[in-house]
Each structure stands twice: as structure tokens, then as C-alpha cells.
């Protein structure tokens, strides 16, 4: 497994009118802050209070202590409704106070997210995260790691969100919160030309070996749609190479990744090119559960730029003609 790599990404202007997106949320986000700050106020009063007020001061005293215990336990990963109530809305303020937006990515999926010839993060998701950090008024830190480490990283709060186009399927919804969609996907099948697989119906056989990115929606799609096939889950590049070399018959993968691979590997082709899509899906940002204000901010931010066509423009700049990104409502 690759080591975690961190990039401090310089912010460049990739959108025009960011201020209008953040004004409402920027004003709303700090509003909860005074409430927690008011709670510690009785502490100094206790220290300097006259003896006659001791009885009155004794009752409120446990309240701040309880809040502090809940905050500490939550930072250690404990769950529970009380802890979620404390953490709700804190992450947005924490990002601003920290001055850094920490994002989890897998920089292996050109042109969506990758490392360019200068050794710097680039692509559709990277530009989006630059925009988000700029609108928040903070620096951008990209944590580059393996795909299977993404969900554990969010759960451990190693970063503030995962921007890797995760699809919010039911098993993931039990662990994470997801924003509105920000990236469209069309899943296709790439086959080795010497394989006996010529149609989709040929795939559902114990004689067929299929590959997919480990832990991905593509792997889930294979296990449900072609349950008789032998599924091998790998990192993205090895999964492709198994098919190109003939060690596997087919791979299920996003169309934007399939097209350049097939162009560079004449031993492969897209199955059923006139009707190639197995499924149309949308990826979203993933964040820790309980972060109500952070989720509302991200959805409002996405809604602003989707409505203005900015995400469609970025998609077409980096990937292909946009099929249209649904409005965030």
C-alpha cells in the first residue's frame, strides 16, 4: 500500500462569483459559536464568588464538565446521540479556526483526480476543492491515499471530507453522510478481445474472470449483476492490466477511464459500444456523520455552482461533455 501523501495546494481562481455562495453560510456558521462560549462563564464566578452564592453556583457547575467530557469522547471516535449533538455543526467552525481544509483523495484517476507532470494534484475534483477552500478563506491540504483507506479516514476524522466521487449506496450510508451529487458516472465493461465474452450475457459465468477497483461501486455491481463470474478486486491500474494481458476477461469501470485505456491498449475494447452503460450513477462528497452545519454548507455551495453551470463547465474542461449534474435541492 502506498504511503499517505499530503499536498498543500496553492489556490487559484477557477470560479468567478464565489462570495455570494458563502455569504449566507459564513454568517450562519459562526452563529452557534457564542453559545458554547457562554457556558464556561460561570467558572470565573465560582472562583471569585461570595460564600452566600455558593449554593446557587453549585447547580450549574456540572453542566460545563459534562459538555467537555462529551467533546473529548467524540474526538476519540465514540458514538451516541449526546456526542452527535455536541459535534453537530462544529466542523465548519473548526476548519475556519484551523485555517486549512483537509481533503481525502485518491490521485490515480486521470482526469478526475491525478498527479500531473509537475508532481502536483490536478483534475476536476482538485479544481473543485480549490474553489471550496478559496470560498472558505482557508488553505487546501490534499491527503492522497489508497481507495480502501478512504472511508476509514473519514470515520477517523483524518480529513474533513472525501472528494473521490463516492456513490452513497446503503452500506456506506450507515457510516457516512453524503452531499448532493457532484460528478456523473457511466459504468461500462471493457473486455480483452481474445476473451470468449462477446455480449453481456456471457459475463455471468463461472468461466469468466472480472476485475474492479477494490471496494468500489463497480465491484458491487459485478457481484450483484454477474454473480456467477469470478470477481478479483484490485487497485485501478492492476485491474486494467489484468484485462489487457488476458489474465482476466473483463473489467467494469467508469466510461471516462475506459475510453483512454482502450485507445492505448488495442487488445481491449468496450463491450456493446452502441449501448455500453451498465449503470448511470452520481458521486458525492462524504463526511463524518453528525456534521449538520457542514453538510448544509456543502449542499448550499454545490447548489450555487450547479445552478450557474460551473460544475458542468469544469466537467467538460477536464473529462467530457457533461450529461448534466442534477440540481441540489
pLDDT in tens, 87-103: 445 899 999 999 999 99
**CB within 8 Å of 125: residues ≥ 6 apart:** 105, 112, 113, 163, 164, 165, 183
pLDDT in tens, 232-289: 999 999 999 999 999 999 999 999 899 999 999 999 999 998 888 888 889 999 999 9
- Domain ranges in the chain with CATH number 3.40.190.10: 5-28+91-182+289-318, 185-280
Tell me, what's the pLDDT at 249?
98
Tell me, what's the pLDDT at 117?
95
Task: With beta carbons less than 8 A apart as the criterion, state whether 229 and 310 touch.
Answer: no
DSSP three-state, residue 205: coil
Indicate if the pLDDT at residue 32 is higher than 90.
Answer: no
Closest to 166 in 3D by CA, of 284, 326, 315: 284
Global pTM exceeds 0.85: no
Cα distances from 19 to residues 97, 130, 219, 307, 311, in angstroms, run 19, 14, 40, 15, 16
Instruction: Calculate mean pLDDT across residues 123-148.
Output: 97
The fold of 185-280 is D-Maltodextrin-Binding Protein; domain 2 (3.40.190)
Task: Select the CATH number that applies to the domain covering 5-28+91-182+289-318 from these four: 3.40.190.10, 3.40.640.10, 3.40.50.150, 3.40.50.2300.
Answer: 3.40.190.10
d(CA 7, CA 80): 34
**Cell 456493446 appears where?**
272
Amino acid at each position: 500500500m502506498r504511503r499517505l501523501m499530503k499536498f498543500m495546494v496553492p489556490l487559484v481562481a477557477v470560479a468567478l462569483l464565489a462570495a455570494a455562495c458563502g455569504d449566507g453560510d459564513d454568517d450562519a456558521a459562526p452563529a452557534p459559536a457564542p453559545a458554547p462560549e457562554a457556558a464556561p462563564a460561570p467558572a470565573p464566578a465560582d472562583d471569585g464568588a461570595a460564600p452566600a452564592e455558593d449554593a446557587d453556583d453549585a447547580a450549574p457547575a456540572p453542566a460545563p464538565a459534562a459538555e467537555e467530557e462529551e467533546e473529548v469522547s467524540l474526538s476519540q471516535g465514540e458514538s451516541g446521540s449526546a456526542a452527535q449533538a455536541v459535534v453537530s455543526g462544529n466542523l465548519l467552525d473548526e476548519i475556519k479556526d484551523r485555517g486549512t481544509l483537509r481533503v481525502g483523495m485518491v490521485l490515480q484517476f486521470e482526469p478526475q483526480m491525478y498527479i500531473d507532470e509537475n508532481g502536483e494534484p490536478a483534475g476536476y475534483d482538485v479544481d473543485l476543492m480549490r474553489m471550496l477552500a478559496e470560498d472558505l478563506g482557508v488553505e487546501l491540504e490534499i491527503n492522497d491515499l489508497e481507495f480502501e483507506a478512504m472511508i476509514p479516514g473519514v470515520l477517523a476524522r483524518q480529513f474533513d471530507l472525501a472528494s473521490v466521487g463516492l456513490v452513497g449506496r446503503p452500506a456506506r450510508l450507515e457510516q457516512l453522510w453524503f452531499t448532493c451529487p457532484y460528478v456523473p458516472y457511466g459504468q461500462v465493461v471493457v473486455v480483452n478481445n481474445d476473451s470468449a465474452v462477446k455480449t453481456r450475457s456471457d459475463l455471468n459465468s463461472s468461466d469468466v474472470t472480472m476485475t474492479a477497483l477494490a471496494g468500489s461501486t463497480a465491484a458491487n455491481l459485478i457481484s450483484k449483476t454477474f454473480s456467477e463470474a469470478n470477481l478479483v478486486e484490485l487497485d485501478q491500474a492492476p485491474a486494467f492490466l489484468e484485462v489487457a494481458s488476458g489474465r482476466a476477461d473483463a473489467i467494469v469501470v467508469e466510461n471516462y477511464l475506459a475510453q483512454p485505456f482502450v485507445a492505448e491498449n488495442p487488445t481491449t475494447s468496450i463491450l456493446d459500444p452502441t449501448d455500453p452503460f451498465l449503470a448511470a450513477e452520481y458521486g458525492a462528497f462524504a463526511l463524518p456523520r453528525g456534521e449538520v452545519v457542514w453538510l448544509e454548507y456543502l449542499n448550499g455551495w454545490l447548489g450555487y455552482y450547479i445552478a450557474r453551470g460551473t460544475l458542468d463547465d469544469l466537467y467538460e474542461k477536464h473529462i467530457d461533455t457533461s450529461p448534466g449534474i442534477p440540481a441540489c435541492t
